[in-house]
Structure 1
Amino acid sequence: MTVIESTAEINLPVAKVYAFLADLNNHKQLMPENIYNWSSTEDEASFTIQNMAKLAIRISSRIENQELTALPTEKPPFDVELKWTVADNGAGGTIAKHILSADLNMMMKMLAAGPLQKLADYQTNRLAEVLNNTQG
């Protein structure tokens, strides 16, 4: 398993960050420009990654104010799990971590690990931007 992680600190309480992440409709705001054909509900999302694949995901588990996990609903090019965890940073804010676990063979790992890391980093940075700008 290839595990890709990215972390962001958000100046909002855990419950607010979790509530935002728990609704997949909000995740469109976290996607880079190479994601299109976005369609979502609270529990499911489907989209196309330019020059790569179409992906449909569904929230498979929720642990309120701690973590949420999404899995593909259609057979993806490789097995992948998308997880967000949220934890109190000790100062009233939240540490949000995005964890992508992908079952990549060596060839796929060489091709996909970089873009997946970039995607995870982009999403955590956008999460911080979007949520830190909505407070107050």
Structure 2
Amino acid sequence: MNLESPKTITPKSAKDTFDFLSDVKNFEKLMPENISKFEVLEDDKFLFALKGMPEIVLKKKEAMSPNKIVLGAAGGKLDFSLTANITAIDDNTSETQLTFEGEFNAMMAMMIKGPITKFIETLATNIPEVI
């Protein structure tokens, strides 16, 4: 399953956006209002939970400055990744799009598609507001 957020324009350089998203502590600021738990486990790993959903642990798997950050599932039963693709528009403006990729059976995909789509859209929408 592959899902994409809308592209968002941020009034910061691609490097500033990359640096912000590289620090996993900053993801707490991007989370939706229905977050019930957020905890930094290591410098590159955090745990979060949304109300009514199981806890998810994400770990930074790849960082290619200033254009791409890949977070992946760290443990648990589901294997997926969340990628931030950052494109410089000019020296002080960048565009960010989040993509979610995972292998799920048809039943699981049907159950999580809506919540995951809403989740990545919220993260993407919050990026320009928070940075």
Q: Give the TM-score of the pair, scaled to structure 1.
A: 0.87
The 1-side partners of 2:81 and 2:109 are apart by 15
The one-letter amino acid of 2:26's match is N
Gaps of 5+ in 2: none
The one-letter amino acid of 1:28's match is E
The one-letter amino acid of 1:105's match is N
Alpha-carbon distance, 1:128 to partner: 1.4
Alpha carbons of 1:91 and 1:63: their partners in 2 closer, same or farther (altered >3 Å)?
A: closer
Contact 1:49-1:55 within 8 A present in 2 as well? no
Contact 1:46-1:55 within 8 A present in 2 as well? yes
Structure 2 matches for 1:31-70, cutoff 5 A?
A: 31-40=31-40, 41-70=42-71
2:102 aligns with 102
Larger mean Cα displacement after TM superposition, 14-23 or 98-107 = 98-107
The one-letter amino acid of 1:128's match is P
The 1-side partners of 2:96 and 2:74 are apart by 24
Structure 2 matches for 1:1-136, cutoff 5 A?
A: 2-6=1-5, 7-40=7-40, 41-76=42-77, 78-90=78-90, 92-131=92-131
* Same amino acid, percent of matched pairs: 20
The 2-side partners of 1:94 and 1:42 are apart by 25
For the residue of structure 1 that corresponds to 2:55, the secondary structure is: strand
RMSD between superposed Cα atoms in Å: 1.4
The 1-side partners of 2:27 and 2:104 are apart by 24
The 2-side partners of 1:94 and 1:38 are apart by 27
Alpha-carbon distance, 1:64 to partner: 1.1
Gaps of 5+ in 1: 132-136
Alpha-carbon distance, 1:70 to partner: 1.1
The one-letter amino acid of 1:26's match is N
Contact 1:69-1:83 within 8 A present in 2 as well? yes
The 2-side partners of 1:71 and 1:113 are apart by 17
Contact 1:5-1:117 within 8 A present in 2 as well? yes
Q: Give the TM-score of the pair, scaled to structure 2.
A: 0.90
